[in-house]
Amino acid sequence: MVPFKIRLNPGQPIVEQVFFAATRAILAGGLKPGEPFPSVRGLAAELRIHPNTAMKVVQQLVQERWLISQPGVGTVVATPPRPRAGQRRRLLADEIEKLVVEAMRVGMTATELLEAVEEQCRALQHLKSVSNDR
């Protein structure tokens, strides 16, 4: 069973959507360090995606250190990597620019955007605290 929720949206690359859903689950505490991650075959079958697509997702998660592949054990969730302070803004620069452009496109003010971002952060922190209480 895939330990995270996803609804695939047309027009967006499937690899990116599944990667995002998995990293969100890790950050929110739904997937904890040391827990097994679904096999490529299991991920493909459960999400009804091509096995090559599932393999790309797992490879990207391993490459970016969200998962660890352990011989004889399988793929497990890693402790989320901690970027250095100087890297944080640079790592998110493209995503921040896309978010700001999209917010401007739909007529959001900077204040509304900041409030929405803060609300989303609180929601994820709440998910993480609920998950840690289990």
Q: What pLDDT, in 10s, does the model give residues 76-105?
A: 999 987 766 666 677 677 788 889 999 999
Radius of gyration of the chain (CA): 16
Can you state the percent helix, strand and coil of the chain, rounding each to 5? 60, 5, 35
pLDDT digits (tens, 9 = 90+) for 5-32: 888 888 889 999 999 889 888 887 888 9
- Per-residue confidence (pLDDT) for residue 6, from 0 to 100: 87
Residues 30 and 62 in one domain: yes
Residue 71: CATH number of its domain: 1.10.10.10
The domain containing residue 22 runs over which residues?
Answer: 14-77
Provide the token pair at 115. Answer: 């409030």
Residues 73 and 116 in one domain: no
CA dist., res. 57 & res. 49, Å (int): 11
Residues 111 and 60 in one domain: no
Mean pLDDT of the chain: 87
Residues 100 and 72 in one domain: no
Count the neighbouring beta carbons within 10 Å of the beta carbon of residue 71. Answer: 5
In a domain, 90, yes or no: yes
8 Å CB contact between 82 and 90:
no
- Per-residue confidence (pLDDT) for residue 35, from 0 to 100: 93
The band of 58, judged by pLDDT with boundaries at 50, 70 and 90, is very high
pTM, two decimal places: 0.68
- At which of 77, 94, 114 does a domain end? 77
- Compare 87 and 109 and report the one with higher pLDDT: 109
